[in-house]
Structure 1
Amino acid sequence: MADWDIRKLQILRTLRERGTVTATAEALRMTPSAVSQQLTNLSRQLGVELLQAQGRRVRLTDAARLVLRHAEAVFEQLERADAELAAYVHGDAGEVRVGAFSTAVPALVVPAVTALRVTHPRVAVRVREAEAQEAYELLAAGEVDLALSLAAQAPSAVDPRFTRVPLLADPLDVALPGDHPLARADGLRLADLAAEPWIFGGSGPWSDITRGACETAGFRPHQGHAAAGWTAILAMVEAGMGVALVPRMAAVPRDGVVMRELCADRPVRHVVAAVRKGAQESAAVGRVLDALRTAATTPTSGGRQASSGGPRVASEAL
């Protein structure tokens, strides 16, 4: 029987995800030479070539991909074993490290942690703010136990490394200057704003979401200004420099900006939680997931009440 080494298999899996030995070494806090040595040893132990040189890079062989396909089941079973062992020793007590994007922290994570303090005080939650894509990288690296992200930024639902849990379909409202002719118009549609200058980031998930929503509504948005933070975006909206899409989960009141719910072609962004395959059986992780589900269905979380008008505005970060 081949000599299977879990640590070396984890290094091989990280190389598949990161693409280069240097990036793998950075993710695992190792030196590139140590990564190469460990993978050479694994190849020798298994009796197959795992890597092939491709210029200055390396690529995984078919044998390496076969090894990882079977290794995923091993990793999942180890996560289950960790969960059962923790339940045996601690019951529902334990620490759960949560990685979450900015607007999810006040809207979902904070209400969940507040509720857990009352219902399950032995569950400790440690929060780490991370960009939507970064949250999954932290989860894969074992640096967080649960990731909150946007479905559009998440790996495929069939990714063997993770179990995904849908949490929320967060509506996107449009932010208009208070004196805009359409600020209080009946039946406002996204297509009614096709000629407006739009304010959104030059790249990244929010740029993709804004462009995608407008193109679905039948037009390509003209980007009048580029900004990434809500403070800057909404200051420009208030000054009459353009309009913007704002997630309802992030909305808080601000003078001079009217937040309008769209009546047709209403876009949403989908928020999901994810854990490593098998880890959902941990009692502590399960308690946190339950608390997040409850926070996601509470109408007042993050100011998510529906509104057809009235001045409301979003918080600082995307």
Structure 2
Amino acid sequence: MAEKTRRRLEFGDGGKAGELFGPHNRNLHRIRKLSGVDISSRGSTLTLSADDERQLENVTRLLVQLYELVKKGRELDDTDIDQGWRTVARDESGEVPEAVGSQVFKVSRKRSVQAKSPGQREYLEAIGSADMIFGIGPAGTGKTYLAVAMAVAAMQEKRVKRLVLTRPAVEAGERLGFLPGDMVEKVNPYLRPLYDALHDMLDFATVQEMIQSGRIEVAPLAFMRGRTLNDAFIILDEAQNTTPEQMKMFLTRLGFNSKAVITGDVTQIDLPGRAPSGLVNAANVLEGVEGIRFVRFQEGDVIRHPLVGRIVRAYEQDERKQQET
């Protein structure tokens, strides 16, 4: 059996080294699980050993770059470790700070957000610079969550007066009259992911007060017809389930001093009868139009549980096999 290659790394600042290693060496255990490289610590010194010298080099680069983030004040979490590992394992010149981004957006007293992937960094930059942004990609990439976060930040900073959340109620065919309750109660089940994001950033009582005062509005897409939305941050979620006619109607609701973010996953279209998707159509029609930004997330941008990324990858492989047969 070939002898393992060993390497020692010394991190001089004991306090910062502890932040790099994590509580009870949690970060080191996670890196070991991802890479297969044995890591042992003694004080601020690490000893690495592995059969694969390339993996040893990748882990060394990851640890050194994460340490630079820690010295700049970054509090590492599992997502930083996972995304950093993907970066160095995929690209010999990949830089972890580039992968996870560095700008922190203060959303509220309760929450700050920061890009965790190249796609998220591009998305946040696009929301900051354009009036209309399309975020297209698989589940778990943060499309909806980050859009709500930036909307809340815009309201807190008084850059807009209200937040409008809308989503096509495909399961009810946009015909909500037969459902019990008022309009908000009828559409609430379809807007639950948006509410979840809101409650993660603001206190429950604050959200309820803002809804009652009209500063936060929830409405099914069908209720957007005929309106002009000024001084608003507007989010259309699950946009793959709009028809081209609905999408055109929504996009032309944009008023003065307003911003619209449209999110969706074109692999999860639930329209009946194989009707064409308004999101797919808009991506073809509006590409290159000034003032509109398209951000396309990839599997590597998936930030939820690592299993989600593997599920997405498995489905993509299955789709390719079906196309080849």
TM-score, structure 2 as length reference: 0.28
More strand by share: 1
The higher-RCO structure (CA 8 Å, 6+ apart) is 1
More helix by share: 2
TM-score by length of 1: 0.29
